[in-house]
């Protein structure tokens, strides 16, 4: 009886050890599958892909704005007129999965923007402290991130991309050196937009 109990105990301990080892080994795989930042982001779920009606079109004057950046400066769109093409990237919210994937992806494309004499401006309706913390979490960004927090979403509204729930569409506007809209790309808010669409728009600029 004692021998049986010892054998049973050993088998039970071995089974527990195998299960624990499997769980430990599987944890990094689960983390990798969900991305490095997933524990720190808020999943908004699936939203209506586009909730606004296009307001600006190719050839329209781009509405000017001046917004605070996370480095403490203010950035005015018209300051680039005559010298730089401008790519404006509106995203819905900090610390959300698609946004946290989209903007870091532009880090590897920095040279492509420079090649087309373009600057990139990121805009969300989050306040500046939240944006600052989010940028640190993402490992840093090479382009300025601007806060459209107050008046809330005013710049997004001027571009026709402020959704009823108070966040912007996932939208890209390419503004040429004359300050006119060269391309307006409103994407499904649930998906990361194709970088190739931006590059194609920049290639079409004179």
Question: Is 20 a known active-site residue?
Answer: no
| DSSP secondary structure, the chain, as one string | -HHHHHHHHHHHHHHHHHHHHHHHHHHHHHHHHH-TTGGGS-------S--S-----TTSBPPP-EEEBTTS-EEEGGGGTTT-EEEEEE-S-TT-HHHHHHHHHGGGGHHHHHHTTEEEEEEESS-HHHHHHHHHHHT--SS-EEE-TTTTTHHHHHTT-B-TTSSB-EEEEEE-TTSBEEEEEEE-TTSPPPHHHHHHHHHT--
Place of tokens 């927090």: 149
- What's the rounded Cα separation, in Å, for the pair 170 and 186? 6
Catalytic residue among 41, 87, 91, 99: 99
Residues forming the active site:
99
């Amino acid at each position: 009886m004692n021998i049986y109990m010892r054998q049973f105990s050993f088998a039970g301990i071995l089974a527990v050890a195998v299960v624990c080892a499997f769980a430990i080994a599987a944890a990094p795989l689960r983390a990798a599958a969900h991305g490095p930042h997933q524990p720190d982001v808020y999943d908004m779920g699936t939203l209506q892909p586009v909730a606004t009606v296009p307001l600006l079109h190719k050839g329209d004057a781009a509405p000017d704005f001046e917004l605070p950046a996370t480095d403490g400066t203010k950035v005015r769109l018209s300051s680039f007129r005559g010298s730089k093409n401008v790519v404006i990237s509106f995203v819905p919210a900090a610390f959300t999965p698609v946004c946290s994937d989209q903007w870091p992806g532009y880090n590897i494309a920095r040279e492509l923007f420079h090649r087309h004499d373009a600057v990139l401006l990121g805009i969300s309706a989050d306040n500046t402290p939240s944006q600052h913390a989010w940028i640190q979490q993402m490992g840093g960004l090479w382009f300025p991130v601007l806060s459209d927090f107050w008046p809330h979403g005013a710049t997004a509204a001027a571009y026709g991309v402020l959704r009823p729930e108070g966040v912007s569409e996932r939208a890209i506007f390419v503004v040429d050196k004359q300050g006119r809209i060269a391309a307006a790309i409103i994407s499904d808010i649930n998906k990361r937009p194709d970088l190739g669409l931006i590059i194609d728009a920049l290639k079409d600029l004179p």
